[in-house]
Amino acid sequence: MGVEQKLGHLGVVTMTLEQAINWARSNSMWPMLFGLACCAIEMMSAQASNYDMSRFGMELMRASPRQSDLMIVAGRVSQKMAPVLRNLYDQMPDPKWVISMGDCASCGGVFNNYAIVQGVDEVVPVDVYVAGCPPRPEALIHGILTLHHKVHGEKLAKWS
């Protein structure tokens, strides 16, 4: 933001289009309700009054995939749920991001067996992994801020 330091007192801000769009996208990301198991309770705790997530722009949790841009996969994904997950991911409009919350979504967690998909990145592409079983609400917020940081670095040329 070079020129605005000289013109700041005139009320003018300059920045590139990329920075403007990335800033708008990261500050009003709406998560989709995808709480599956125990991590969902910590996600609800993060949304509630003690560790408020609406400070970061995530005021509403949209139930409909058509109206959300962030999918927080919170909890273990079983073999029966995996096609449903992929279906919902496909229904979300671009731009979309995925946070894999917790150990079970990142790598299968404690459950290394026939019934659990070993890592949700076998089903959808993941942007940020948050570790913990379940991760504390502060850890989830750290993951979301990491995602915001990543979005700030996205380039115009990559969008189709």
Partner 1 sequence: MDEKLKPAVSAMIDGLEATLIEFRDQISMVVAPEKIVEACRILHDNFHFDMLLDETAVDYWPQETPRFNIIYQVYSMKENLIIGLRTSLVGIHPHIQTIEGIYPNANWHEREIWDMFGIYFDGHSDLRRILMPHGWEGFPLRKDYPLGYEEVQFTFNSDEINLHKPYAKE
Partner 2 sequence: MDGREQQDPLLDGMTHLVSSRALTGETMLLNMGPQHPSTHGVLRLLLELDGEIVVNCVPDIGFLHTGVEKNMEAKNYQKAEVMTDRLDYMNPIGNNLVYCLALEKLVDLDVPPRAQFLRVILTELTRVQSHLVWIGTSALDLAAMSVFLYSFREREMILDIFELVSGQRMMTTYIRPGGLWRDVPVEFEDAVRNVLKVMPGRIDEYESLLTKNPLFLDRTRKIGIISAEDCVRWGLTGPVIRATGVAYDLRKARPYSGYEQFDFDIPTHTDGDVYARYLVRVEEMRQSLSIIQQALDRLPTGPIRSNNRKFVPPPRSELGTSMEALIHHFKLWTEGFNAPKGSVYVAVESPRGELGVYLEGDGGPKPYRVHFRTPSFVNLQAMPLMSRGHFVADLVGIIGSIDVVLGDADR
Binding site for partner 2 (CB under 8 A): 33-38, 40-42, 44-45, 48-50, 61, 63, 75-76, 78-81, 84, 88, 110-116, 133-134, 136
Please give the distance of CA 30 from its chain centroid, rounded to a whole number: 9
Partner that binds at residue 118, options partner 2, partner 1, none, CB closer than 5 to 8 Å by kind = partner 1
Check binding of 127 to partner 1 (CB under 8 A).
no
For strands 128-130 and 70-74, give the pairing: unpaired
Choose between 94 and 114: whose C-beta lies nearer to partner 2. Answer: 114
**Distance from C-alpha of 51 to C-alpha of 55, rounded to nearest angstrom:** 9
Considering just the CA atoms, what is the radius of gyration of the chain in Å? 17
Q: Report the number of secondary-structure helices (H) and strands (E) in the chain.
A: 6, 4
Choose between 135 and 151: whose C-beta lies nearer to partner 2. Answer: 135
Check binding of 108 to partner 1 (CB under 8 A).
yes
Contact window for partner 1 (CB under 8 A) among 59-67, 108-116, 130-138, 140-148: 108-116
As measured in angstroms, the least distance from the Cβ of 123 to partner 2 is: 14
Q: What angle do CA 82, 26, 37 make, to 5 degrees?
A: 30
Check binding of 101 to partner 1 (CB under 8 A).
no
Tokens of 37: 């198991």
Check binding of 125 to partner 1 (CB under 8 A).
yes
As measured in angstroms, the least distance from the Cβ of 39 to partner 1 is: 20
Q: Count CB neighbours of 54 within 10 A.
A: 10
- The burial class, CB within 10 Å (0-12 / 13-18 / 19+), for 1 is exposed
List interacting residues with partner 1 (CB under 8 A): 79-80, 86, 108, 112-115, 118-119, 121-125
